[in-house]
Amino acid sequence: MGASPDYGPDFERLREQDPEVAQVLLDEVARVRGGLQLIASENFTSPAVLAALGSTLSNKYAEGYPGRRYYGGCEVVDRAERLAIDRARELFGAEHANVQPHSGASANLAAYAALMQPGDTMLAMALPHGGHLTHGSRVNFSGRWFDVASYGVRRDTELIDYDEVRDLALRHQPKLIVCGATAYPRLIDYGVFRGIADEVGAWLLADVAHPIGLMAGRAIPSAVPYADVVTFTTHKALRGPRGGGILCTAELAARIDRAVFPFIQGGPLMHAVAAKAVAFGEALRPEFADYARRVVANARTLCDTLAAEGMRPVSGGTDTHLALIDLRELGVSGAEAERRCAAAGITLNRNAIPYDPEPAAVTSGIRVGTPCVTTQGMGLQELKEIGSLVARVVRDPGAVADVRERVSALAAIHRPYLSEY
Ligand code: DSN
- For ligand 1, say whether the CB of 245 is within 6 Å of any of its atoms: no
| Burial environment of residue 407 by CB neighbours within 10 A (0 to 12, 13 to 18, 19 or more) | buried
Percent of the chain with pLDDT over 90: 96
Average pLDDT (159-179) is 98
**Per-residue pLDDT at 396:** 97
CB 136 within 8 A of CB 241: no
Residue 323 Cα, ligand 1 centroid: separation in angstroms? 14
pTM for the structure as a whole: 0.96
Among protein residues, the one whose CA lies closest to atom 4 of ligand 1: 41
**Catalytic annotation present for 82:** no
- For ligand 1, say whether the CB of 104 is within 6 Å of any of its atoms: yes
Indicate which residue of 233, 301, 320, 374 is catalytic. Answer: 233
- For ligand 1, say whether the CB of 41 is within 6 Å of any of its atoms: yes
Instruction: Phi first, then psi: give them for residue 407, nearest 5 degrees.
Output: -60, -45
Average pLDDT (181-200) is 98
Residue 229 pLDDT > 90, yes or no? Answer: yes
- For ligand 1, say whether the CB of 136 is within 6 Å of any of its atoms: no
Ligand 1: atom nearest CA of 133 is 7
Q: Are residues 240 and 294 both part of a single domain?
A: no
**How far is 204 from 367, CA to CA, in rounded Å?**
27
Q: Which of 249, 283, 317 is the C-terminal boundary of a domain?
A: 283
Domain count, the chain: 2
Residue 5 pLDDT > 60, yes or no? Answer: no
The per-residue pLDDT for range 274-297, each reduced to its tens digit, is 999 999 999 999 999 999 999 999
- For ligand 1, say whether the CB of 301 is within 6 Å of any of its atoms: no
Question: Could you tell me if residue 19 is inside a domain?
Answer: no
Ligand 1: atom nearest CA of 183 is 5
Q: Are residues 267 and 332 both part of a single domain?
A: no
Q: Are residues 243 and 104 both part of a single domain?
A: yes
**Per-residue pLDDT at 8:** 58
Identify which of 38, 41, 109, 234 to mutate to test ligand 1's pocket (most ligand atoms within 8 A of the CB): 41
Q: Are residues 179 and 234 both part of a single domain?
A: yes
Q: Which of 245, 261, 283 is the C-terminal boundary of a domain?
A: 283
Q: Are residues 92 and 57 both part of a single domain?
A: yes
Say which CATH number the domain at 274 has: 3.40.640.10
Among protein residues, the one whose CA lies closest to atom 3 of ligand 1: 41
**Catalytic annotation present for 42:** no
Residue 416 pLDDT > 50, yes or no? Answer: yes
**Per-residue pLDDT at 293:** 98
Q: Are residues 276 and 343 both part of a single domain?
A: no
> For the CA atoms of 128, 354, 301, 341, what is the dihedral angle to 10 degrees?
60
Chain mean pLDDT for the chain:
96
Question: Could you tell me if residue 26 is inside a domain?
Answer: no
**How far is 258 from 59, CA to CA, in rounded Å?**
23
Average pLDDT (48-72) is 96
Range of the domain at 383: 286-413
Ligand 1: atom nearest CA of 39 is 4
**Per-residue pLDDT at 419:** 52
Closest CA to 195 of 153, 226, 168, 173: 226
Q: Are residues 192 and 113 both part of a single domain?
A: yes
- For ligand 1, say whether the CB of 45 is within 6 Å of any of its atoms: no
Q: Are residues 260 and 304 both part of a single domain?
A: no
**How far is 306 from 365, CA to CA, in rounded Å?**
13
Task: Give me the amino acid identity at 378.
Answer: M
**Catalytic annotation present for 374:** no
Q: Are residues 300 and 388 both part of a single domain?
A: yes
CB 237 within 8 A of CB 214: yes
Question: Could you tell me if residue 58 is inside a domain?
Answer: yes
Q: Are residues 91 and 192 both part of a single domain?
A: yes
Say which CATH number the domain at 301 has: 3.90.1150.10
Q: Which of 225, 257, 283 is the C-terminal boundary of a domain?
A: 283
> How sure is the predictor about 228, in pLDDT bands with cuts at 50, 70 and 90?
very high
Residue 340 Cα, ligand 1 centroid: separation in angstroms? 21
Q: Are residues 147 and 111 both part of a single domain?
A: yes
**Catalytic annotation present for 276:** no
